[in-house]
Chain A
Amino acid sequence: MMDMQAALPALWLSLKVAGWATAINLVLGVGTGFFLARFRFPGRDLLDTLLTLPMVMPPTVLGYYLLVLVGRNGALGSWLYDNLGISLMFSWQGAVLASSVVAFPLVFKPARAAFENVDSQLEQAARVLGLPALAIFFRVTMPLAWRGILAGLLLAFARALGEFGATLMIAGSIPGRTQTLSIAVYEAVQAGQDDQAHFLVLLTSLVCILVLLGAGALKPRTAGGY
């Protein structure tokens, strides 16, 4: 039972952080994907590259960048603290920030591809039929792109759930406050608590299997479609 008492807050925190990171990317990642798919402007390729960087950069490097940005002495961090009294350091919101950044390309990339695959003639047909732009987005573009987007969101959730490096640098490892499952596993191993580590690892594996099962259920059906 001791195991459970230590593990449940970590599990809950992991799910909360991953859930928020996924929700944030539902707006930012999908929005950016749509923007880059639909509008041509100078520097589009460069922007795409920059936005994809979190996928290839080591999480600790990202964590360092975030530290420079939102740390108490960072450009954004000092402004937030001075004006709003907010500090993201060593808070679960900081963990959300780290996870969001790390998972961002996993939503943005498939979303862009999904939007580019939507036949623009269908959107034009909707315009001629009298629909305003926002209605076209929700009634034509999104329904035709959502499978690709959903796949990206699931990947992002899984990635955020496993986030370690950047989260540790921003939020640290405060049990019950910022210690997520993956960090708790590391701490348990470091402290020689093998039973605890076993339990946490099994718990994490179970959650990952559930996420994968969820992803499998969303694969395109062959007949009937949509």
Chain B
Amino acid sequence: MLELSLRKTLISGKRCFALELELHDTTGSLVVMGPSGAGKSLLLRMIAGLTRPDAGRICLAGRVLYDSSAGIDLPPQARQLAYLFQDYALFPHLTVRQNIAFGLKRGWLNPGRRHADRQVDTWLDRFGLTSMQHQHVDELSGGQRQRTALARALVLEPRALLLDEPFAALDPALRQHLRSELAELQQRLGVPLLLISHDHDDLAHFGRQSVYLERGRVSSLQREQPRPA
């Protein structure tokens, strides 16, 4: 599902951060763990195409997204991935419905408030957001925001899911609930998932394989036991 080897050096002022890692995941459900500053987000950004690696190769869900020796570097627009940002990056000037329809609508104008689309309706319904579809996103609770962000990404039928600490901003009770919801959803959609976290509960829920990252290097790699039913 994911095959990757990357090199990237970041220099800011006197500090220098070097990332060099190789990952190979066939399970389609990989959790990257590690302390903050280990390079987890950087890894995710490079897979999404938001940061260009110095060298290496990224192959995800059967497609080469980046290969420095072959001169391949797909722009983020062409990678067809879902990226769930840590604070969800919802568009504050748009309603829930407009946010979800955002990527479906081409051109220079945002989808209208009453933008009609069956797929949008389906996702609103699936995530219980129908009653608040015309609200602005700053009026939503944490869980509703996350669902909106997920729906916005999933409605485009992405080839893989990249999740950056998706539960860190939520309170513990909700966290547990949304974890189960997301795990179940991923099973149903059959989309490969890569999640970064520093919460071991995420590992238990999602990690058929896990990687521990430290200072830009893989410090341990393990396959989890089958998930308890």
Contacts and interface: CB of A to CB of B under 8 A. Distances in A.
B89 A121 contact: yes
Contact of B108 (A119, A129, A139): A139
Nearest to B105: A139
Interface of B: 48-50, 75-83, 85, 87, 89, 91-93, 102-103, 106-110, 136, 138, 152-153, 156
A222 B64 CA distance: 47
Interface in A119-134: 119, 121-122, 124-132, 134
**What does DSSP make chain B's interface, helix, strand, loop or mixed?**
loop
Interface of A: 119, 121-122, 124-132, 134-135, 138-140, 143-144, 224-226
Contacts of A125: 83, 85, 89, 91
Contact of A224 (B50, B79, B85, B136): B136
Given A127-B75, A127-B77, A130-B77, A144 B108 contact: no
A126 B85 CA distance: 12
**In the complex, the 5 A-B pairs of residues with the closest C-beta atoms, listed nearest first:** A129-B103, A125-B89, A226-B93, A127-B76, A138-B108
10 contacts: A122-B92, A124-B50, A125-B89, A127-B77, A128-B48, A128-B79, A131-B77, A132-B77, A138-B108, A226-B92
B75 A134 contact: no
A144 B92 contact: yes
A37 to B, nearest CB: 18
Given A122-B91, A226-B136, A128 B81 contact: yes
Nearest to B48: A128
Nearest to A146: B93
